[in-house]
Chain A
Amino acid sequence: MEFSTYSEKWKLSECGVQPYALLRFVLEACSRRLPPDALGHAKAFAEFTGGRVFASSTLTPFGVSLRSEGYYEGGACDVGITLVFMGLTMQFLKDVLSGAANEEVLKQAGCVIIERMEV
């Protein structure tokens, strides 16, 4: 059984929505880009002054478990996301996350990205 992982870290100078909503939007957008029978999961966190959020989801079917501490009142926010799936390539997972981030979420959520890196 072959598994692939793909992870990114983002540094945002501003997040236009509450970070829990950002994570939910990103994971939901990833879910729409995966085959419906894909087997794996996604995990993500966001850290900001005064709090942090953790998210996890199997993505197929979509549903997200969120744990949140504190309230985001603006400013910098660090995000980490990892996708791990069986039978899909790392490039496919990269395309899923890039597509979700670029095309759907980051601009619509009013995020200002300082740095985005593959890890």
Chain B
Amino acid sequence: MPEEQTRVVVIYGFLGSGKTTLMLHLAKRITASGKRAAIVVNEAGKVPVDGKLLTAAGLPVREIFAGCICCSVVGDFIETLGALVGSREFSRVFVEPSGMADAPRLFESLHRHGGFPLWKILVLDGVRLPLLMKAARPLMEGQIREADIILLNKEDAIDGDDKDSLIGLIEKSVHHAPVYPVSVLSGIPDGLMNELL
């Protein structure tokens, strides 16, 4: 049984930004250190791909289907999360909202209903960020405003000058969080991994 308080780590971002891959890295790191981690995943579709993938990695997973945890199934979500945190069995509970989630709405619900100690990691797709900021600006700005830490993912596919302009684009959205360019698929450097956890 962990002595520290269970921390709820929310890994959020748009569809295809790299959330599930990051969660696998983080959950494996936690379990490798001898602590226990649980995962709550809200699948966007009706085929449980993420749940199967995470379960196959040996992690305890609770899946929430048939709606988004920021709105239509928020009650189920809060109840599930409350049970995991209340069990005091886990050092970390990782939450992956669907890539469609409205971040401010989600975090307001978590604050109002649960009062859980939250750590909010935003994963941004560096390749598609300019397009996303044009096509879905309110959604993206809401995500950026809420973050405690921002990972600008897929940096290996971005030119150096473009990386600077992308960070500028993020900073225009008024945030207080540090921004780290990364390639989640290639792995997270140890120093940053410690900061994320």
* Residues of A participating in the B interface, judged by any CB pair closer than 8 Å: 1, 3, 5-9, 37, 39-41, 43-45, 47, 52, 54, 56-58, 61, 65, 67, 69, 80-87, 119
In the assembled complex, B44 has its CB within 8 A of some CB on chain A: yes
Return chain A residues, CB-CB under 8 Å to B128.
Answer: 39, 58
Tell whether, in the assembled complex, residue B45 and residue A7 are in contact, meaning their CB atoms are under 8 Å apart.
yes
B135 touches A80 (CB 8 A): no
* In contact, B136 and A1 (Cβ under 8 angstroms): yes
Q: Check A9–B136 contact: CB distance below 8 A.
A: no
Q: How far is the CB of A61 from chain B (nearest CB, A)?
A: 7
**A61 contacts B127, CB within 8 Å?**
yes
Closest CB in chain B relative to A105 CB, distance in Å: 17
16 further A-B contacts with Cβ under 8 Å, apart from A54-B52, A54-B53, A56-B16, are: A1-B138, A39-B14, A39-B15, A43-B45, A43-B49, A45-B47, A47-B52, A54-B49, A61-B127, A65-B185, A81-B47, A82-B46, A82-B49, A83-B45, A84-B98, A86-B100
A41 touches B49 (CB 8 A): no
Prevailing SS type, chain A contact patch: strand
Tell me which of B14, B45, B50, B98 has the highest count of chain A C-beta atoms within 10 A of its own C-beta: B45
Instruction: Please tell me the number of chain B residues within 8 Å of chain A, measured between CB atoms.
Output: 29
Q: Does chain A have a CB within 8 A of B96?
A: no
Q: Verify B15–A40 contact, CB threshold 8 A.
A: yes
Q: Give B5 Cβ to nearest chain A Cβ, in Å.
A: 33
Q: Which has the most chain B C-beta neighbours within 10 Å: A5, A57, A81?
A: A5
B21: chain A residues within 8 A (beta carbon): 65
Q: Given the complex, which residues of B lie within 8 Å of A6, measured CB to CB? A: 45
